[in-house]
Amino acid sequence: MKCAGGCPINFVMEHNNYEILRMIQLGEKDKVYQSNTPWLCVGCKTCAVRCPNGIDTSKVMDTIKMETIAENKIPASHYNVKLFYELFLDSMKGFPVIGGEGRGYELGLMGLYKLCTGTYLADMNLGKEMTKRGKMPFLPHNALKRRKGEVKKIFQRAKEKKAR
């Protein structure tokens, strides 16, 4: 299997990507939801370009992640990955008072992630070095001026579509 053979993360994955596809075919939903494989998939598309059947497995992994979240079946051990995704997108919606709609806000994201996970000391030194070199701005990028609210509306529509 060239797809799984080339996967750079397979050394920590509980199941290879083709095994996940087989589980889906067999309707073993819960086994798929429990697997750490989708949450470790980095979406590098090695499998996608190698698949002789034209299946983009990393896209399948994205869909599994979405369904696991929607059905609220995400195992605690994968929670941090989901949390990081959520906070990343939240940081694009902007913050009260300091703003920052539309773009990622590295410092805010890292601060919130640390607060939520209690990993205060991890990467502390790195953060300091980045700030020293001007690579971690204190304030979010306030970019949307004439087009304020557009990105917020995109997120609003996404929420409405999910509720349907």
Binding to other proteins by residue 144, rule CB under 8 A? Answer: yes
Closest CA to 12 of 63, 72, 81: 81
Binding to other proteins by residue 134, rule CB under 8 A? Answer: yes
Instruction: Give me the amino acid identity at 148.
Output: K
Task: Tell me which of 19, 28, 29, 130 binds other proteins, using CB under 8 A.
Answer: 130
Binding to other proteins by residue 95, rule CB under 8 A? Answer: no
Site string for other proteins, 19-58 (x = CB under 8 A): ---------------------x-xxxxx-xx------x--
Q: What distance in Å separates the CA atoms of residue 109 and residue 95, rounded to the nearest whole number?
A: 11
Crossing angle for the helix pair 79-93 and 150-163, to the nearest 10 degrees: 140
Task: Tell me which of 1, 66, 98, 124 binds other proteins, using CB under 8 A.
Answer: 66
Binding to other proteins by residue 76, rule CB under 8 A? Answer: no
Binding to other proteins by residue 85, rule CB under 8 A? Answer: yes
Task: Assign 3-class secondary structure to 28-82.
Answer: CHHHHHHCCHHHHCCCCCHHHHHCCCCCCHHHHHHHHHHHHHHCCCCCHHHHHHH
* Smallest distance from other proteins to CB 119, Å: 9
CA dihedral of 93, 162, 9, 127, whole degrees rounded to 10: 10
Q: Could you list the residues that contact other proteins (CB under 8 A)?
A: 8-9, 11-12, 40, 42-46, 48-49, 56, 62, 65-66, 69, 80-86, 88-89, 92, 102-104, 106, 110, 113, 122-123, 126, 129-130, 133-137, 141, 143-147, 150-151, 153-155, 157-158, 161-162
